[in-house]
Every structure is written in C-alpha cells, then in structure tokens.
Amino acid sequence: MTDSKAQLAGLLGEAKSIVGFTGAGISTECGIPDFRSPGGFWTRYKPIEFKEFTASAEIRREAWRRYFAIREAVEKAVPGRGHRALARMVEAGHMRRIITQNIDNLHQLSGVPEAQIIELHGNGSYARCLSCGARHELSWVREIFEAVGDPPDCPQCGGLVKSATISFGQAMPELEMQQAREAIANCDLMLALGSSLVVQPAAHFTLTAKRYGAKLVIINREPTGYDAYADLVVHDDIGDVMQGLGFE
C-alpha cells in the first residue's frame, strides 16, 4: 500500500461520521465524461445559462438536443469502483450522507438509499416544469421533441419543461443546501472525490467542513484550489485509490 493510501485508510478508520462529496470525476470510469478534462463532450460546448434557456425557444431546442446526446452515455453507465466503495461505507454506517454535484443517478444505482443522497445540482433522469414543479418523464419529452421539433410545455400549467438539473445561473435548491449544511455540521471527515472544486457554491462546502472542525480529504487526478486546506490530498485515479481499502 502506498503512503497516501495508508494515510487514507488511517483517516477513514478513525472517523466516526463521514460525509462524501462527489463530482463528475467519480463517474468518468463509467463512461460519462466530466466537465473540465480536455477533449470531453462538455469542452466542445459553452454551457447554456438558465436565463438563456428561459429567454429563447431556439436555445431550449439546442439544450434538449445536447441533453439527449449526453443521456445516451448516462443511460448505459453502471456504478464504478468509487461509487461501490462509498455504497459499502454507507451500508457499514461509516458514511452518513453523500453530497453530490452529479446528476447521473449512479449513487442511487450503487444501492445507496435515496434519503442518504443530497443532489445539489438535481437529477438528470427526469424533467420538471419550471412553473408548477410537476415531474415529467424524459421519454415523454423526447417523443414530442422528435415528432414536432420542439420540447413540450407542461400539460398542467403551460410552463417551460426543463431537465431536473440546476443550470449555471439557476437558483440552488434550498432544501438540499440546508440538508448539506446539516450533514457537514455533524461530520468529522469530508471525503471529496472527483471534483475540480470550481463550481460554486458547492465547492465551498469543503471549507465549511473545515470550519466545523472536520478533517478534509481530497481525491482528484488534478490539483484543486482547495488542496491547501485539506488534511490529505491524493492526486490519483479514484477507482485505484478506493480499491483495496476493504470497501469492495
């Protein structure tokens, strides 16, 4: 076992209440490209801001076209080694909550109960009406989009229908933000995996954990702006790092 892996095993073994904090990097080995690594789907397109989505029918068509393109990779994906390790930690009672920036539903698919997952940026496996909040299935949106070339409006109130994810410029979900703060206030270690820690306010939760006196571990292939605050930083592949720690 490498030195950093032995240190990680020590910190995880000592902790009584761990909170996981995950980003797109935990899902790259599952075939879903992350946001910032070079060459990926996302580097080719400038993200669509929330106000652009609500202002323009053409932008909404483009948003849905992109969405259905990325869904093909997401729908094929199964949980990876990182997801499985976290699921075992939850099952064993070491990890109370997983706060995720991901929208790919892979923590749920790895067997973590819904109540223990906090999705800061929503979930991409369904859609919602922006006006009344009604849930709509993607298959229904897609069928209409492909038939008429436009996404449907909400049949209940006529509002705009958007994937149930949080876009840049869209308000953060209040309940999930509150749940995340509570989870962090009650943890003694935050394990952050696969996030560039650039997207705010989510990234700042690593510092919130430190302020509450918790230890902070960051596992990410590349350096992040929060590495200096961490008790342990491992710049390596998440699956390789989490394998062999007894959480298979």
Least Å from the CB of residue 7 to ligand NAD = 17
Answer yes or no whether residue 143 interacts with ligand NAD by CB under 6 A.
no
Contact 36, 43 (CB under 8 A): yes
How many Cβ atoms from other residues are within 10 Å of residue 247's Cβ? Answer: 20
244: Cα separation from own chain's centroid: 24
36 binds ligand NAD (CB under 6 A): yes
Q: Which of 194, 209, 215, 247 binds ligand NAD (CB under 6 A)?
A: 194
Cα–Cα distance, 22 to 15 (Å, whole number): 18
Largest separation between any pair of C-alpha atoms in the chain: 58
Query: Could you tell me the smallest distance in angstroms from the CB atom of residue 218 to ligand NAD?
Result: 10
Both tokens of 74, joined, read 């997401």
Residue 121: active-site member: yes
| 239: its two tokens | 């699956």
The residue from 96, 142, 181, 221 that contacts ligand NAD (CB under 6 A) is: 221
Interface with ligand NAD, residue 163, by CB under 6 A? no
Structure tokens at 75: 């729908």
Name the residue number minimizing CB distance to ligand NAD.
25
Please list every residue from 102 through 131 that binds ligand NAD, using CB under 6 A. 102-104, 121
CB of 209 to ligand NAD, least distance (A): 16
Angle between helices 57-76 and 138-148 (to 10 degrees): 130
With 0-12 CB in 10 A as exposed, 13-18 as middle and 19+ as buried, what is 122?
Answer: buried
Per CB under 6 A, the segment of 6-14, 33-41, 85-93, 132-140 that binds ligand NAD is: 33-41
Q: Which residues are catalytic?
A: 121
| Contact residues: ligand NAD, CB under 6 A | 23-25, 27-29, 32, 34-37, 101-104, 121, 194-196, 198-199, 220-222, 237-238
